[in-house]
Structure 1
Amino acid sequence: MKYVIVLGDGMSDEPIKELGNQTPISFANTPKLDELSKKSEIGLVSTIPQGMKPGSDTANLSVLGYDPKSYYTGRSPLEALSIGVDMKDTDIAIRCNIVTLSEDDRPYEEKSIIDHSASEISTEEAAVLLEAVKKELSNEIFSYYLGISYRHLLIWDKGQVVELTPPHDILGKVIGQYLPQEELLKEMMIKSYDILVNHPINLARKEKGLHPANSIWFWGAGTKPALSSFEEKTHKKGAMISAVDLLKGIAVGAGMLNIEVEGADGTLETNYEGKAKAAVEVLTKQDYDFVYIHVEAPDEMGHQGSVEKKIKAIEYLDQRVIKIVAENLDALKVDYRMLVLPDHPTPICVRTHTSDPVPYMLYDSTNPQSRNWNYNEKEAKESGNYIAQGHTIIDYLFSK
């Protein structure tokens, strides 16, 4: 038996008036999900432990079987694992987004945050901008590391875990009350605006109608992580397919194989087919038991507040990932169990994460059900199936 998790980051949502009070999942044209759901179990799972913030970090740890209350030490340390930073026990890792702030004559504290991803800036352009920041701001205490797209890393030598606000939580808001209380961090953010606002790359981006990447933004501080081995814990040999450093870092910490897919970039135009084909290959040709396919696009479209693009991301997930994986495994006569779910909701109405339970679909090719339901939030709730502790759902996947 082979095992697959297909995770559509932030895919779950609230009913939307212009969709006839449907959610993007229920509105989207998803023929493969519709087909499989009628042969599957559907239900709700709570991936965010009570009292913890609804991040992709805590949620994906849950889905992979790691109770965040025991294993979570912060988001950025997991990303540091992916980037290859060898953290000391005294280091603090901090996520360093490159964001878009309003450009006006008001002081930095009175500016508003326009875009947490600077129009999903390319890694190539971000590298040039981060180098300009590093040249001016790095020293023996603060070290900057390049990640992917807008997602980068700061290591603070002998630092402290401080309260920092995720930029996607305050889109459209004036930033003053959300800036770090730690003066050194706040000062670097202010200086970064002066470094970046008139950078040639940003001038060119504005000419193209793209958001300028005109400031860094710190959040997600944490200490060096220590995850137990996925294989030792589950007795399954696992692989990760993701475009983002957070998931890659979890895989590094858990001793899983990270599979790099050309053109996988965490955007709406990521290489869906490449991810699907890599998943089939690692299960059938490399003797792995389990693969985790993470797709970032629904979450990004939720943060952008784009109903149309979020629906498109879900439809791409259905036709360009789930369909390919299922049909290839069926054609090869491989027995498999497939779990489809989001990590957390990213509702269009708030443009950030919430802690509500998310819908799951569990399909077993050896034991197809006969149901009359579709995979979506409403019908998952009506099923009466509910998993209260998210970190147990992977045991449920592996239970047969």
Structure 2
Amino acid sequence: MKYVLILGDGMADYPVPQLNNKTPLQYAKKPNIDFLAKNAEVGMVKTVPDDLSPGSDVANLSVMGFDPKKYYTGRSPLEAVSMGLELSDTDVALRCNLVTLSDEEDYSNKTMIDYSSDEISSAEAKELIEAVNASFKNDNFCFYPGISYRHCLIWSNGLTGLKLTPPHDISGKKIADYLPKGENNKPLLDMMVKSYDILKDHPVNKARIAKGLRPANSIWLWGEGKRPSLPRFDEKYGIKGSVISAVDLIKGIGILAGLKNIEVEGATGNIHTNFLGKAQAALKELESGQDFVYLHVEAPDECGHRNEIENKVKSIELIDEQIVGTLLKGLEKYDDYRIMILPDHPTPLSLMTHTSEPVPFLMYQKSRPKDTGVESYSEEQAKTTGVYFAEGYKLMDYFLKG
């Protein structure tokens, strides 16, 4: 038996007036996914416990079969692991975004213009993070460059429980109410404030402005945590697996769980990612002897955060055509296989951030098609079946073990 889980990050949504009051999943043309839905078990699953924030970290831990109440220690250590950083028991990792802030003189009066600095290139970002590190590196703090706008700060003997705000939650808002507060956060706030003066006139940003691109003129620190300890996926489920994602967070969860991390050329984490290459890589992994592939696509989430209605629909259609369509053809040679498709959480276009509501899933098996009366894959159709998993981490057990 071969197993493929396709996770469209943030695909679930609310009805959108510009889409005839349909959700992007309802509006998108997705014949392959809808074919599966008509022949699959379909239902709803709550991936985010009520007492945890609806981050992709919590939700993907849940989808991958790990109870986030037990294993979640913070977002950034998962990303740090993916970047190859070694964390001691006393190290705290923090996500460091390169963001675009407005140009008011007082830092606290600035507005969050863009949490991704126009999705700055990794090469440009590396220069900026190196400049930040040259100014702030000491026995306690060290910055490490990552991909695009996503980077890492390691704080030796650092603190947790800091109540830091993700920058994608405050797009278009004044940052004053969301800055790090309290004595424990003072070193972090000081670096954020000083980073503006370091970055605003950096040659990389001058060149970006000349090209009509937004400058990455500040760092933004959030998502702190310590290294978690996860059970190995192969020991938990008795199968060998791989993870395919452009996002360090997902790679980190996979690595900690003992899954093989697969790099795909052109995988960017946005609407321009290599959809087809991800599907081809998944098939290659299965052909090489792997039993399970966790294929993660970030694009719908990024479009939700940026209120890009057309692109969110387009990202779902590309997942259907280039990923699901390719996989269905490639998997046909196997006697049996199972596919599961779901989001990790909703990222409503109207809110431009994550929410905790249950999300729709479909679970298809080649040898055991089911007729549950569902005509297409969407939030509303999934609710009609009455199938509901209140604890999201139990869905993986059901998928793999039946």
Q: Same fold (TM over 0.5)?
A: yes
**Separation in structure 2 between the aligned mates of residue 65 and residue 362 of structure 1, nearest angstrom:** 15
Task: Give the conservation status (yes or no) of the 8 Å contact 1:2–1:334.
Answer: no
- 1:257 matched to 2:298? The reply is no
1:228 to partner: Cα distance: 1.0
**Separation in structure 1 between the aligned mates of residue 121 and residue 379 of structure 2, nearest angstrom:** 33
What's the % identity of the aligned pairs? 53
Task: Give the conservation status (yes or no) of the 8 Å contact 2:374–2:381.
Answer: no
- Equivalent in the alignment of 1:358: 359
CA-to-partner distance for each residue in 1:183-207, whole Å, 9 max, x for gaps?
A: 1100100111111111122122223
**Separation in structure 2 between the aligned mates of residue 158 and residue 399 of structure 1, nearest angstrom:** 42
Task: Give the conservation status (yes or no) of the 8 Å contact 2:11–2:346.
Answer: yes
Q: Describe the SS at the equivalent of 2:222.
A: strand
- Equivalent in the alignment of 1:277: 280
Moved over 4 A (4+): none
Tell me which amino acid in the other structure corresponds to 1:45.
Answer: V
- Name which of 247, 250, 274 aligns with 1:247: 250
**Separation in structure 2 between the aligned mates of residue 216 and residue 153 of structure 1, nearest angstrom:** 10
Task: Give the conservation status (yes or no) of the 8 Å contact 2:375–2:381.
Answer: yes
Q: Describe the SS at the equivalent of 2:69.
A: helix
Tell me which amino acid in the other structure corresponds to 1:347.
Answer: P
Instruction: Map 1:361-400 onto structure 2 (within 5 A).
Output: 361-370=362-371, 371-400=373-402
Instruction: Map 1:1-16 onto structure 2 (within 5 A).
Output: 1-16=1-16
- 1:342 matched to 2:343? The reply is yes
CA-to-partner distance for each residue in 1:45-67, whole Å, 9 max, x for gaps?
A: 00001210000000000000000
Q: Describe the SS at the equivalent of 1:114.
A: strand
Task: Give the conservation status (yes or no) of the 8 Å contact 1:342–1:358.
Answer: yes
- Name which of 287, 290, 313 aligns with 1:288: 290
1:208 to partner: Cα distance: 2.3
Tell me which amino acid in the other structure corresponds to 1:281.
Answer: K
1:372 to partner: Cα distance: 4.2
Normalised by the size of structure 1, how large is the TM-score?
0.98
Tell me which amino acid in the other structure corresponds to 1:158.
Answer: N
Q: Structure 2, unaligned stretches of length 5 or more?
A: none
Q: Describe the SS at the equivalent of 1:81.
A: helix
Tell me which amino acid in the other structure corresponds to 1:317.
Answer: I
- Equivalent in the alignment of 1:81: 81
**Separation in structure 1 between the aligned mates of residue 117 and residue 269 of structure 2, nearest angstrom:** 14
Instruction: Map 1:1-400 onto structure 2 (within 5 A).
Output: 1-104=1-104, 106-161=105-160, 162-181=162-181, 182-284=185-287, 286-330=288-332, 332-370=333-371, 371-400=373-402
Task: Give the conservation status (yes or no) of the 8 Å contact 2:374–2:382.
Answer: no
Q: Describe the SS at the equivalent of 1:326.
A: helix
Task: Give the conservation status (yes or no) of the 8 Å contact 2:339–2:363.
Answer: yes
Normalised by the size of structure 2, how large is the TM-score?
0.97
Task: Give the conservation status (yes or no) of the 8 Å contact 2:97–2:151.
Answer: yes
Tell me which amino acid in the other structure corresponds to 2:180.
Answer: P
CA-to-partner distance for each residue in 1:210-257, whole Å, 9 max, x for gaps?
A: 221111000001012111111111111110000111011111111110
Q: Describe the SS at the equivalent of 2:338.
A: strand
**Separation in structure 2 between the aligned mates of residue 115 and residue 234 of structure 1, nearest angstrom:** 41
Q: May I ask how many residue pairs the two structures share in their alignment?
A: 397
